[in-house]
Structure 1
Amino acid sequence: MRTSLKRLIEDILRDYPLVDQYIKDREQELMHPVRDNDENIGGGKSGKISKPQEQMIITLEEDRRLNQLKKQRDVVEECLDNSSDNTKNIIKELYFRKYPRYQMEGLIDNHIIYCNRSQAFKLRNEFIEQIAKELNIFI
């Protein structure tokens, strides 16, 4: 796996604890857009749907950024659910903590995970590859 792709997945994992807030913020941005003052008095017809509720639903469902955030959240959750306890502990410590207490060696030495060093790195790499595959960015 390319280093840039691995770093992209690691960034997605680091953002995972905050993704629900990102989704909420994006929905608020879409539901309450900043409106410019229209100084055009009179004028022609608008191509927008006249019912604001319908327009809002369409806007929320079609927003690429919002859909991508939801997809990333769902993929990470699914991969975590299908992972071993060792893999979950590795991912949670290395990526989900704001200030990680341990690196891989510390996880092994403090018996947070029960495997050797090479197996621990293999578990982490397989998890990252699975995320990339599920997000269709595996190249």
Structure 2
Amino acid sequence: MKTRTKRMIEEYLREYPETNRYIKERTLQIIYPAKQPDENVGGGRAQYKYDQSVVYTAIGLAEDKILNTLKHRRDVIDDCLDDAGKDTETIIKELYFKRHPQYSINGLVVNGLIHVSQSKAYELENSFIEEVAEGLDIYDLSDV
């Protein structure tokens, strides 16, 4: 896996704990858009016009690319975590989900928080990152 691709997946993993907040903020931006002031002072309005703002909001929520991307990333990482073993989950949570990680992979092994060798721990981390990349349909051109 190219370093660039790995760094991108690592960044997605670091953003994962805040993903639900990002989704909520984006949803609120769509539901409550910034309204432009009406400069048509004294202008008439159609009397029998049906208000379709609810329809437009529903369509906006369903078709928003940013919102759908955030949800897809969250779902893929959730699925990969569900399939990962306990040691892999410990590694990912410590290295990527904590704002200030206390241990490195070596520290996790030495302190007995995971029960594998250091080389196996790196292998677990890399295979998890590759699984997330595959779930997100991110492929290296060198792999093709």
Using structure 1 for the length normalisation, give the TM-score. 0.92
- Residue of structure 1 in register with 2:118 after alignment: 117
Provide the alpha-carbon RMSD of the alignment: 1.8
Q: Please state whether the residue corresponding to 1:111 is helix, strand or coil.
A: coil
- 1:38 to partner: Cα distance: 3.4
Aligned 8 A contact 1:129 1:138 in 2: no
Opposite residue 99 of structure 1, the aligned amino acid is: H
> Match for residue 37 of structure 2?
37
Listed as ranges, the matches of 1:1-139 within 5 Å are: 1-40=1-40, 42=43, 50-139=51-140
Contact 1:10 1:95 in 2 (8 A): yes
Instruction: Encode CA deviations 1:106-131: one digit per residue, 9 max, x unaligned.
Output: 00001111111111000000000000
Is the contact between residue 94 and residue 100 of structure 1 (CA under 8 Å) also seen in structure 2? yes
> Any unmatched runs of 5+ in structure 1?
none
Give SS of 1:115's match. Answer: coil
| In 1: Cα distance, 2:53 partner to 2:33 partner | 13
Provide the TM-score with structure 2 as the length reference: 0.89
* In structure 1, C-alpha distance between the alignment counterparts of 2:95 and 2:122, rounded to whole Å: 12
Provide structure 2 residue ranges, at least 5 long, that are not aligned to the other structure: none
C-alpha separation in 2, matches of 1:71 and 1:138: 17
Larger Rg: 2
Matched AA of 1:18:
E
One-letter amino acid of the counterpart of residue 38, structure 1: D
Please list the CA deviations of residues 75-109 of structure 1 after superposition, one character each: whole Å capped at 9, or x if unmatched. Answer: 00000000011100000000001110000110000
Any conservation in 2 of the 1:80–1:88 contact (CA below 8 Å)? yes
